Amino acid sequence: MARGIFEGWHFIVIVLVVLIIWGAPKLPGFAKSLGQSMRIFRKEMKQMGDERAEDKKSSDKKDEPKND
């Protein structure tokens, strides 16, 4: 069986070298952007959880029988 010159791990090494050479100056900016995105995502998820809790409280109050 004849195999090609390159195997799977060769491509991984080539991609890593290319990323390091041409992508290195952009990595800090990418990391900062990713951090900001995660912060915004967590904030929105917390806000959605707070809104759900408020909706549940208000619906529980509506379901309570009135004692007049």
- Domain containing 44 equals 33-57
Per the structure, the count of domains in the chain is: 1
The answer to whether residue 53 sits within a structural domain is: yes
The answer to whether residue 2 sits within a structural domain is: no
* Alpha carbon 49 to chain centroid, angstroms: 17
Q: What is the reported pLDDT for 36?
A: 97
Q: What is the reported pLDDT for 26?
A: 83
* pLDDT reading at 67 higher than 50: yes
If one compares 64 and 1, the residue with the highest pLDDT of the two is 64
The answer to whether residue 45 sits within a structural domain is: yes
The answer to whether residue 68 sits within a structural domain is: no
pLDDT tens digits, residue range 26-56?
Answer: 888 888 999 999 999 999 999 999 999 888 8
| Cα gap 67→11, rounded to integer Å | 74
This prediction has a pTM of 0.52
How many angstroms separate the Cα of 67 from the Cα of each of 57, 62, 64? 19, 13, 9
The answer to whether residue 11 sits within a structural domain is: no
